[in-house]
Amino acid sequence: MPGDPSLFSEYSVLTVVVDSGLGSRVLKAAKGCGINGGTVIPARGFSGGAILKALDLDERNMEAVILLAEKKLLMCAIPKLDEMFRFEKPHHGYAFCVPVISLFGIHSQTKTCLCESERIEKMKYRAIFTIVDRGNGEAVIDSAKTAGARGGTIFPGRGSGIHETEKLFSMEIEPEKEVVLIISDADTAPGIVDALRRDLKIEDPGKGIIFVQPVDQIVGVVGLE
């Protein structure tokens, strides 16, 4: 569906992964750029070795801050966050931005097509999300590494009660699930997805879900910037 050129790529989602307890600092810095509000999700980070720097998180407790805003505001926030957290250093986290295809319920904005398929294909990086049963997140990381992934981050998909669900990108995540995020370059992503499908038997009922999003901009992942 063609979009209004004046609204093209107007909104994006910025995800910032930092040490546990630092999410409030991300929100404060974002607010200084005119971004009001965000979502903080607990996470664990994993990697394959010391040379991986930003993704060398060694099972550390992390927080992911998800910010939805106009892209121009996010482009203001990214360098400020990079300066604040020094993402280029080991164990300092990372940040990436993905375009929003359509948007509902933001003030007067009711529906907008914001990103063309040709532009998506030209983006150099991909965010691979894998949803699996709790306890299988590390198996996802191990499988992805065999296909060239540098590491990943595991988000617990917990609701506030045992019978409740939590939503991530409008998808219901059962309390006993884990969401694994892996960032890769566009050329490596298909091989990672194929490895996950094979090793985790994703096509079998109840084994999991994989979805991939284009990444517009990224800082803090060595070798991908």
Complete domains list, the chain, with CATH = 5-117 (3.30.70.120), 121-214 (3.30.70.120)
Residue-level pLDDT at 200: 92
**DSSP letter, residue 116:** -
Q: What is the 3-state secondary structure (H, E, C) of 130-180?
A: EEEECCCHHHHHHHHHHCCCCEEEEEEECCCCCCCCEEECCEEECCCEEEE
CA distances to 37, 135, 187, 218 from 124, rounded to whole Å, are 28, 31, 8, 10
Q: Report pLDDT digits (tens) over 185-202.
A: 889 999 999 999 999 998
Report which of residues 188 and 57 the model is more confident about.
188
Residue-level pLDDT at 120: 66
Its pTM stands at 0.63
